[in-house]
């Protein structure tokens, strides 16, 4: 055999030997031998810790010493190469698109991650369906839409441009302190809290790229400011709750004036009466449960369906049902364990609607309800409803608590929405400016008592509060696509049910409803009595606002005086304004109230059994027997 | 047997003719890849701790760039070995190579196929990460479905549950030894051909520098797939109401491979068609499993995002 052939034959062995020697030398001269001392988290080591610790600011459950960094931020924890470690990393782990791999893994919060996808705050299902219903694209406001899966129809385009920023599934691209402009971010929309230190570190990071050493806390300390960004819009329950009503004023017009507040987005609010629960120091989560916020896994159409609490849970008329701590579900036990304020509670009041535990509501030694502030640890002793609420007054059995305890709500009485094909608008789903713009020309926004109307709850008719959901015109004649030409101009007069979150401690006076044209759904105006041609006294209604040419009703009205308005009248299936007969019944009591005020001595004998009282009219009660209801009259 | 050798179908003939222009024969490359895998495996064994498999690899991955590279070379040379071995088998069967060796040697050579598969999956299991543990569970479950002797086989191949000792021994010694012996015996040479070594080493190093094999801890991913060559098996397991039949099918293919030299030309063609059908079906299921399956066996599209 030639020498060259011998060498060739030996080559593989030489190559292998060299590879082995090099690799061993490489390994034993490793500059990172300290990795052997890296602590294990969740059964594995993480290289992230070598570069990023010490890092403070965490609550115990989310401390990197317990769960590492990669559990939330992904990436590759098994390399010390920066680029390799940061590959496929998630900067804001709570975004719902990533949540199944971060917050929602099987050993962390799988149930919540599954539930939240079906929840209304993530899907905006009700918002999508109602909008499409109003545009005439679907036949019912109960649809299965999702803000993350919008199509290209005018309504869906409208949602993309004007509404889709307010939902949990909106991606939060960068870490940011929660403020009034915060939107989306999935789990982090509510559960992230920037301490002063963390805020300063984040600012420094933005200024000079210096790696933060204080992490925002991920905790159960969800404050009202987390909810404020989204809920200060539309029904504006966050601002209502704090006693602020949006105006059409510009910031410079009210600057320095008392009684006004300018939000970070430039909207100007004026002082109104706040909700009694806010006055007492209660936060949103002191009433609302985790199941309402993150969903219970079921699919609901509208928020009032997903809400499981009711006033009666804390203000019960009879002793509420409770559940013992040991019988709680694991997730509830976990929450109770995490919250210091709830440590001493052994029995939890169950919701009357869904029979599920309210984790901060219990009964004291005397059987009275006791509410604990989840964040504040304050103790509240909710009042027991007075007899006027608990004992039936004739004709009031269908009323909800908020019908009498909602002094005001925001009412936008006119709006025109039009599509401008040439303009540019921000698509909140795609996160970019695209061609086509929706322009809103708003009318007057007034704080006033909501109208009463009929809602279907648990297959029963309930008298509840309504505000003008949409009295408006939509115009999209130049919207691209011939198939969208139909319904390119529509007028709608729809009222929406509202939980205004402006609850007053004291119930409203009888005349607030019985002599209030707004509550009757007629809009602002006056009743007057006049003699008819046949010499009979008749009551007529004169509206403050002019009639609209589309339907002849006053601009702010829901229905006409003694009208039977049906069909497309509300953003909810089955909801409607008062019928003509119901209006008559309400007004009939209102006629007596000026002379027989509800707080007069011995007055109960009149209103407790009103039909009998009507049979005992004295000659002084001159109006009622002869009175008839005249034709409606609307200002021109 | 009176069958003429070298009767290749045109497509395969064309493919291997083109191959011959560019590379050494697949058999020689396979031989070289085996040696490279063994060499890099020996280097890895210095740092691999069978009592804490996942942790020892983590320490390696976090502590030493060279170690990471050697592990990557081991990984990629093994993958190349598997792919090249498959090409070599197709090449040989297409030209009736089974007739060119003694029947005894052919049977021994046929044993390389299941041995290589076990070698590959045992290496995957030895990572001890989530993927490895799940693969072990699948294999344990599959062997457990055998009506008789399943438990014994499970113990013989995989050892005690949660213990990697026997799998490690099989991987570095038993299986490797048999594969090496049978390879060297039918190849007729000990050392691999130098050109093949250069090709395979260069290829492995390039791939290693481009992509290092990942470790998957519990919980960081929604779902973990098996190694690419077993994704087809996972897909089959999902479809099969009786997983034992998959082992029967695999056994049948192996049996057919062993008895090929005994078959007449007509029967041999039929048997090869049967094996080709099984191979293509497995390939199809691998493609479906790899690209079109997400978590919970849901249908996904590769361009659909995570």
CA of residue A474 relative to chain centroid, distance: 25
- Does residue A86 share a domain with residue A23? no
Task: Determine, yes or no, domain membership for B10.
Answer: no
What are the tokens at B26? 């697949």
**How many whole angstroms separate alpha carbon A493 and alpha carbon A499?**
20
Q: How many domains does one find in chain B?
A: 1
> Cβ neighbours of residue A615 under 8 Å, at least 6 residues apart?
none
B115 occurs within a structural domain: yes
Using alpha carbons, select from A147, A143, A124, A123 the residue that is nearest to residue A134: A143
Complex-level ipTM: 0.77
- Note down the domain range covering A24: 3-30
The rounded distance, in Å, linking the Cα atoms of B43 and B68 is 11
pLDDT confidence tier of residue B274, bands split at 50, 70 and 90: very high
Instruction: Please answer yes or no on whether A36 and B222 come within 8 Å at the CB atom.
Output: no
pTM of the model: 0.82
A517 and A405 fall within a common domain: yes
Contacts 24+ apart (CB under 8 A), B278-287: B278/B249, B278/B253, B282/B232, B282/B233, B282/B236, B283/B232, B284/B232, B285/B231, B285/B232, B285/B235, B285/B236, B286/B228, B286/B229, B286/B231, B286/B232, B286/B235
What are the two backbone dihedrals, phi and then psi, of residue A420, each rounded to the nearest 5 degrees? -115, 110
B294 has pLDDT over 90: no
pLDDT value for B306: 47
Does a structural domain hold residue B75? Answer: yes
CA distance B266 to chain A (A): 42
Supply the pLDDT for residue A34: 62
A24 and A61, same domain (yes or no): no
A179 is a domain residue: yes
CA A78 – CA B58 distance, rounded (Å) = 6
Angle formed by the axes of helices B228-239 and B112-125, nearest 10° = 100
User: 10 Å Cβ neighbour count for A355?
Assistant: 10
Domain-located, residue B278: no
Instruction: Assess if residue A42 is contained within a domain.
Output: yes
Please check whether residue A372 is in contact with residue A345, taking contact to mean a CB–CB distance below 8 angstroms.
yes
A156 in Cβ contact with A143 (< 8 Å): no
Does residue A114 sit in the same domain as residue A26?
Answer: no
Within-domain flag for A372? no
List of chain B residues whose C-beta atoms are within 8 Å of the C-beta of residue A26: 64-67, 69-70
A10 and A57 part of one domain = no
Q: How far apart are CA B306 and CA B294, in angstroms?
A: 9
Residue written as tokens 């078959």?
B263
pLDDT digits (tens, 9 = 90+) for B131-158: 999 999 989 988 888 777 888 888 999 9
Contact A497, A301 (CB under 8 A): no
Question: CA B193 to CA B188: how far, in whole Å?
Answer: 12
With beta carbons less than 8 A apart as the criterion, state whether A186 and A159 touch: no
**A434, A487: one domain:** yes
Residue-wise pLDDT for B174-184, tens only, equals 999 999 999 99
Task: Report A:58-117 residues touching B (Cβ under 8 A).
Answer: 70-71, 74, 76-81, 84, 97-98, 100-101, 105-108
Interface test with A, best of B219, B222, B223, B305 (most A CBs within 10 A): B219
Angle between helices B265-291 and B244-259 (to 10 degrees): 140
Span B272-285, average pLDDT: 93
Contact list in A for residue B220 (CB cut-off 8 A) is: 70-71, 74, 77, 101, 105
CA A583 – CA A600 distance, rounded (Å): 25
Shared domain check, A627 and A578: yes
CA distance A243 to A269: 9
Whether A30 contacts chain B with CB within 8 A: yes
Tally of domains within chain A:
3
Mutate to test the interface with B, among A44, A82, A83 (most CBs of B within 10 A): A44
Are A148 and A429 within 8 A, CB to CB? Answer: yes
Please indicate whether, in this complex, the C-beta atoms of A16 and B39 are within 8 angstroms of each other. yes
Distances (CA, A) of B62 to A46, A49, A437, B205: 8, 11, 52, 20
Q: Read off the pLDDT of each residue in B162-173 and give the average, rounded to a whole number.
A: 94
What are the structure tokens assigned to A23, written together?
Answer: 């690799």
Quick check: is B298 in a domain? no
**Which residues are A409's β-sheet partners?**
A448
> Considering only CA atoms, which of B82, B85, B201 is closest in space to residue A12?
B201
Distances (CA, A) of A408 to A76, A304, A442, A501: 54, 19, 20, 9
Separation between Cα atoms, residue A558 and residue A583, nearest integer Å: 13
CA–CA dist A386, A390 (Å, integer): 6
**Using CA atoms in the order A57, A61, A65, A66, what is the torsion angle rounded to 10 degrees?**
-170
Distance separating alpha carbons of residues B181 and B191, to the nearest angstrom:
12
Which residue of chain B comes nearest to A8, CA vs CA?
Answer: B194
Determine, for residues A78 and B214 on separate chains, whether the beta-carbon distance falls below 8 Å.
yes
Q: Residue A83 is encoded by which pair of tokens?
A: 């680029």
Of A36, A76, A97, the CB nearest to B214: A76
Q: Are residues A25 and A41 in the same domain?
A: no
**Domain for residue B96, yes or no?**
yes
| Closest chain B residue to A70, measured at CA | B220
Alpha carbons A468 and A569: distance in angstroms, whole number: 10
Nearest by CB to A32, from B62, B69, B73: name it.
B62
Cβ contacts of residue A179 below 8 Å, gap of 6+? Answer: A225, A229, A264
pLDDT of A492 reads: 95
Parent domain of B75: 19-221
Per the CB < 8 A criterion, the answer to whether B200 and B33 are in contact is yes
Cβ contacts of A91 within 8 Å, gap of 6 or more = A73, A173, A174, A175
* Closest-CA residue to B171 (of B217, B223, B135, B118): B118
Sheet of A361-363, strands arranged across: A361-363, A369-372, A379-380
Distance from CA of B129 to the nearest CA of A (A): 9
The mean pLDDT value of chain B amounts to: 88
* Cβ <8 Å between B191 and A9: yes
What pLDDT shows up at residue A624? Answer: 46
B302: pLDDT confidence band, cut at 50, 70 and 90? confident
Question: Is the Cβ–Cβ distance between A120 and A302 less than 8 Å?
Answer: yes
Domain boundary among A219, A253, A287: A219
pLDDT for A265: 93
Contact A53, A63 (CB under 8 A): no
Could you read off the pLDDT of A165-194 as tens digits, one per residue?
A: 888 888 998 999 999 999 999 999 999 999
CA pair distance B88, A212, nearest whole angstrom: 56
In order, the DSSP letters of B193-262 are PHHHHHHHHHHHHHHHHH-PPP---TTSSS-----HHHHHHHHHHHH-SSTHHHHHHHHHHHHHHHHGGG
Count other Cβ atoms within 10 Å, centred on residue A80: 19
For residue A423, tell me if it sits in a domain.
Answer: yes
Task: For residue A22, give both structure tokens.
Answer: 């090099």
What distance in Å separates the CA atoms of residue B216 and residue B225, rounded to the nearest whole number? 10
Structure confidence at residue B60 (pLDDT)? 86
The residue among A295, A304, A332, A331 whose CA lies nearest residue A167 is A295
Residue B80 burial by CB count (10 A; 0-12/13-18/19+): exposed, middle or buried?
Answer: buried
The pLDDT tens digits of the residues spanning A206-243 come to 999 888 999 999 999 999 999 999 999 988 999 999 99
A616 by Cβ neighbours in 10 Å (0-12 / 13-18 / 19+) ranks as exposed
Whole-angstrom distance, CA of residue A105 vs CA of residue A353? 31
The Cα–Cα gap between A233 and A216 comes to 26
A242 vs A71: CA distance, rounded Å: 38
C-alpha A236: how far from chain center: 9
| One domain, residues A13 and A93 | no
Is residue A50 located within the same domain as residue A115?
A: yes
Segments of chain A with pLDDT less than 70:
1-2, 7, 9, 12, 15-16, 19-20, 22-36, 392, 622-636
How many Å separate Cα B56 from the centre of its chain? 24
Distance CA A442, CA A248 (A): 9
Note whether A44 contacts B65, CB cutoff 8 Å. Answer: no
| Cα A536 from Cα A541, distance rounded (Å) | 16
Q: Compute the nearest-CA separation of B54 from chain A (Å).
A: 8
Q: How far is CA A296 from CA A267, A357, A389, B145, B233, in A?
A: 34, 13, 31, 39, 37
Distance CA A530, CA A508 (A): 29
- What is the per-residue pLDDT for B1? 44
- CATH code, B36: 1.20.810.10
The token duo for A528 is: 């007057």
What is the rounded average pLDDT for all residues in chain A? Answer: 89
């Amino acid at each position: 055999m030639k020498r060259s052939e011998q060498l060739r034959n030996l080559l593989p062995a030489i190559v292998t030997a060299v590879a082995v020697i090099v690799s061993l030398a490489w390994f034993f001269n490793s500059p990172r031998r300290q990795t052997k001392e890296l602590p294990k988290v969740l059964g594995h080591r993480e290289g992230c810790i070598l570069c990023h610790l010490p890092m403070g600011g965490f609550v115990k459950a989310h401390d990197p010493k317990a769960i590492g960094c990669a559990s939330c931020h992904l990436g590759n924890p098994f390399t010390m190469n920066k680029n390799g470690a940061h590959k496929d990393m998630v900067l804001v782990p709570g975004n719902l698109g990533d949540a199944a791999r971060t917050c929602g893994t099987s050993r962390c919060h799988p149930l919540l991650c599954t539930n939240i996808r079906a929840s209304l705050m993530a899907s905006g299902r009700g918002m999508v369906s109602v909008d499409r219903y109003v545009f005439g694209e679907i036949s019912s406001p109960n649809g299965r839409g999702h803000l993350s899966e919008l199509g290209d129809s005018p309504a869906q385009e409208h949602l993309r441009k004007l509404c889709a920023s307010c939902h949990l599934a909106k991606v939060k691209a960068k870490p940011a302190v929660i403020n009034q402009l915060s939107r989306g971010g999935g789990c982090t929309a509510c559960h992230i809290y920037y301490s002063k230190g963390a805020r300063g570190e984040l600012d420094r990071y933005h200024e000079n790229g210096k790696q933060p050493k204080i992490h925002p806390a991920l905790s159960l300390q969800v404050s009202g400011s987390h909810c404020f960004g989204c809920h200060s819009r539309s029904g504006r329950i966050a601002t209502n709750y704090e006693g602020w009503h949006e105006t059409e004023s510009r910031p410079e017009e009210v600057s320095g004036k008392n009684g006004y507040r300018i939000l970070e987005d430039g909207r100007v609010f004026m002082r109104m009466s706040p909700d009694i629960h806010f006055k007492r120091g209660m936060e949103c989560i002191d009433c609302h449960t985790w199941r309402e916020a993150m969903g219970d896994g079921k699919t609901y159409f509208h928020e009032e369906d997903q809400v499981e609490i009711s006033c009666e849970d804390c203000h019960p008329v009879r002793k509420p049902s409770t559940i013992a701590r040991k019988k709680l579900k694991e997730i509830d036990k976990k929450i109770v364990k995490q919250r210091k304020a709830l440590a001493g509670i052994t029995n939890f009041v169950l919701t009357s609607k869904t029979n599920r535990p309210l984790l901060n509501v219990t009964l004291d030694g005397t059987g009275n309800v006791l509410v604990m502030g989840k964040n504040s640890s304050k103790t509240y002793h909710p009042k027991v409803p007075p007899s006027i609420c608990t004992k039936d007054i004739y004709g009031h059995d269908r009323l909800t608590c908020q019908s009498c305890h909602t002094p005001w709500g925001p009412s936008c009485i006119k709006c025109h929405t039009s599509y401008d094909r040439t303009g540019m608008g921000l698509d909140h789903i795609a996160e970019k400016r695209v061609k086509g713009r929706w322009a809103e020309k708003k009318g007057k926004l007034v704080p006033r008592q909501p109208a009463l109307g009929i809602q279907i709850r648990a297959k029963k008719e309930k008298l509840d509060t309504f505000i003008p959901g949409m009295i408006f015109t939509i115009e999209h004649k130049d919207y691209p696509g011939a198939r969208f030409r139909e319904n390119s101009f529509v007028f709608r007069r729809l009222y929406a049910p509202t939980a205004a979150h402006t609850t007053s401690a004291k119930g409203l006076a009888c005349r607030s409803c019985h002599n209030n044209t707004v509550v009757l759904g007629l809009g602002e105006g006056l009743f007057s009595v006049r003699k008819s041609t046949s010499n009979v006294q008749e009551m007529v209604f004169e509206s403050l606002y002019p009639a609209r040419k589309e339907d002849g009703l006053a601009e702010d009205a829901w229905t006409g005086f003694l009208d039977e308005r049906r069909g497309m009248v509300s953003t909810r299936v089955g909801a409607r304004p008062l019928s003509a007969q119901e209006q008559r019944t309400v007004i009939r009591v209102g006629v007596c109230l000026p002379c027989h005020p509800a707080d007069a001595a011995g007055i109960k004998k009149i209103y407790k059994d009103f039909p009998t009282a009507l049979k005992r009219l004295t000659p002084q009660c001159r109006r009622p027997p002869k009175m008839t209801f005249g034709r409606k009259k609307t200002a021109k | 047997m009176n069958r003429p050798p070298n009767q290749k179908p045109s497509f395969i003939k064309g493919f291997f003719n083109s191959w011959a222009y560019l590379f050494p024969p697949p058999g020689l490359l396979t031989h070289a890849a085996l040696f490279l895998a063994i060499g890099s495996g020996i280097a890895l064994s210095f740092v691999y701790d069978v009592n804490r498999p996942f942790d020892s690899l983590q320490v390696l991955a976090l502590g030493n760039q060279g170690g990471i590279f050697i592990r990557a070379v081991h990984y990629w040379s093994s993958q190349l070995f598997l792919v090249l071995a498959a090409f070599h088998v197709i090449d040989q069967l297409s030209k009736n190579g089974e007739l060119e060796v003694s029947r005894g040697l052919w049977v021994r050579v046929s044993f390389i196929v299941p041995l290589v598969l076990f070698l590959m999956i045992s290496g995957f299991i030895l990572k001890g990460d989530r993927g490895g543990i799940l693969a072990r569970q699948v294999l344990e479950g599959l062997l457990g479905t055998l009506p008789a002797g399943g438990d014994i086989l499970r113990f013989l191949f995989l050892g005690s549950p949660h213990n990697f000792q026997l799998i490690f021994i099989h991987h570095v010694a038993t299986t490797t030894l048999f594969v090496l012996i049978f390879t060297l015996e039918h190849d007729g040479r000990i050392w691999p051909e130098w050109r093949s070594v250069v090709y395979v080493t260069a290829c492995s190093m390039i791939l290693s520098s481009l992509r290092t094999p990942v470790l998957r801890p519990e919980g960081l991913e929604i779902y973990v797939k098996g190694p690419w060559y077993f994704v087809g098996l996972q897909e089959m397991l999902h479809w099969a109401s009786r997983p034992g039949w998959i082992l029967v099918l695999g056994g049948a293919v192996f049996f057919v491979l062993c008895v090929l030299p005994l078959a007449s030309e007509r029967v041999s063609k039929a048997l090869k068609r049967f094996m080709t059908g099984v191979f293509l079906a497995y390939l199809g299921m691998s493609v479906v499993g790899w690209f079109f399956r997400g978590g919970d066996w849901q249908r996904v599209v590769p361009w659909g995002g995570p």
